[in-house]
Amino acid sequence: MKHKRQFPNTSSYNDRHGKRRWRYRKGAFSAELGSAYGSQEFIERYEAAKEGHRTRGLIGADRTIPRSFSALVASYYKSAEFLALESSTKKNYRGIIERLRREHGNKRVSHLERRHIANMMADRSDTPNAANNMRKRLAQLLDHAILLDWRIDNPAKNVKPYKIDNKGFHTWDEGEIKQFFGYHGPETIPHRAVGLMLYTGAARADVVKMGWGNIKNGRIEYRRQKTIKSSGVPISSPIHPDLQVILENCPKDIFTFLETSHGKSRTAEGFGNAMRGWCNEAGLKNCTAHGLRKACARRLAEAGATPHEIQSITGHKTLSEVDRYTKEANRENLANSASMKLENSLNQEQTLVNLSNRFANKPPKQLKRSD
């Protein structure tokens, strides 16, 4: 069976020094990818080449109009802000920005007004999340335009985002977790995958890279892929006994815990698609990989963990993100816990009051006079 190539439309050649190099080629478009096949730089160049192919109709005069939207995009891609992003984030940003580029590439940045942005959002009103994400990317691009002295204001920041009624990704409840584990047995990859995410709170991009190299002294340690360039703060948490049982069933010669049947590490996107299939098989249409990260935070909140304690496990950068993830914690259990704490506190106060009364009501002992 022929397997799909990891990087379609790439080919290698030897340069005049005999060094092997790689290039992307599709139709009349081509781009150099360097010599380190599969490296971080190679992947970034490959993603940029794919987008360059998709926007090749703008190559030429339209893309080089001074201070045009297309010129702003090209400058932003070279900025320190964009280059510092992770590859997955760059890919996400490009998908939004390149659509704007196709629609408005030859327009002058200085002509963009608040009403234009409002109209652009209205065109996407049937998908409010997409409209809000477009507004965010526009705000970043216009901040870059201010830095270039192409504008003195940022009209995108004066347009209100759409209110989102949904709660985002569905948070798995205990019944759904039990149903998944009941369908996918203990020694299966799906069971292992859900166990890892449920007891570590790791994101897709992190869990696919976890392996025996991350296990140290009874703890699982890693750095979040999303924030590795900005913070680099490591995550180190003790291995839960249930997760320990799951890991004991893993072969000792595998590089990553969730590698494919061909012995290769999964991509975040590939893992997300696999999880979608595994959840469908278990009859859990509303459950996703990201919902497990929220389920981990929910469990921690229900167990009485503080926001800072939850943050140390999930690796969130801010406490507001933790709050957003724990909104679906079982409020009944939390209320019971809070009431119990209040009752204990009142009992302690009452004990102290009674103790004080006993001391106050007891007649003072008379000192005997020696004379």
| Residue range(s) in the chain whose domain bears CATH number 1.10.443.10 | 174-331
Which pLDDT score, from 0 to 100, does residue 114 have? 94
- Percent of the chain past pLDDT 90, that is, above it, reads 37
Phi then psi dihedrals of residue 30, to 5 deg: -145, 155
281-284 — which CB contacts under 8 Å span 24+ positions?
Answer: 281/183, 281/184, 282/179, 282/180, 282/182, 282/183, 282/184, 283/179, 283/183, 284/176, 284/179, 284/180
> CA–CA separation, 278 vs 35, rounded Å?
37
Is residue 252 packed enough to be buried (19+ CB in 10 Å), middle (13-18) or exposed (0-12)?
Answer: exposed
Kindly tell me if the per-residue pLDDT of 333 is higher than 70: no
pLDDT in tens, 244-274: 999 998 988 898 999 988 888 898 888 999 9
From the candidate CATH numbers 1.10.443.10, 3.40.50.300, 1.10.10.10, 3.30.70.600, the one assigned to the domain spanning 174-331: 1.10.443.10
Select from 187, 224, 219, 229 the least CA-distant residue to 208.
224
CB 52 within 8 A of CB 74: no
Identify the three-state secondary structure at position 256: coil
Is residue 185 packed enough to be buried (19+ CB in 10 Å), middle (13-18) or exposed (0-12)?
Answer: exposed
pLDDT grade for 43, boundaries at 50, 70 and 90? confident
Identify the three-state secondary structure at position 32: strand
The radius of gyration computed from the CA coordinates of the chain, to the nearest angstrom, equals 28
Which pLDDT score, from 0 to 100, does residue 230 have? 59
| pTM of the entire predicted model | 0.59
| Residue range(s) in the chain whose domain bears CATH number 1.10.150.130 | 63-166
Q: Does domain 63-166 have CATH number 1.10.150.130?
A: yes
Average pLDDT over residues 341-350: 68
Average pLDDT in the chain? 82
Range name among 73-82, 111-120, 306-315 with the lowest pLDDT average:
306-315
CB 225 within 8 A of CB 91: no
> CA–CA separation, 81 vs 349, rounded Å?
55
> CA–CA separation, 138 vs 176, rounded Å?
39
Token reading at 234:
């490591």
Q: Give buried/exposed letters for 12-35 (b at 16+ CB in 10 A, else e).
A: eeeeeeeeebbbbebeebebebee
> CA–CA separation, 36 vs 43, rounded Å?
10
Q: What is the DSSP string of 138-182?
A: HHHHHHHHHHTTS-S--GGGGSPPPPP-S-SSPPP-HHHHHHHHH
CB 319 within 8 A of CB 307: yes
How many angstroms separate the Cα of 288 from the Cα of each of 77, 185, 269?
32, 18, 12
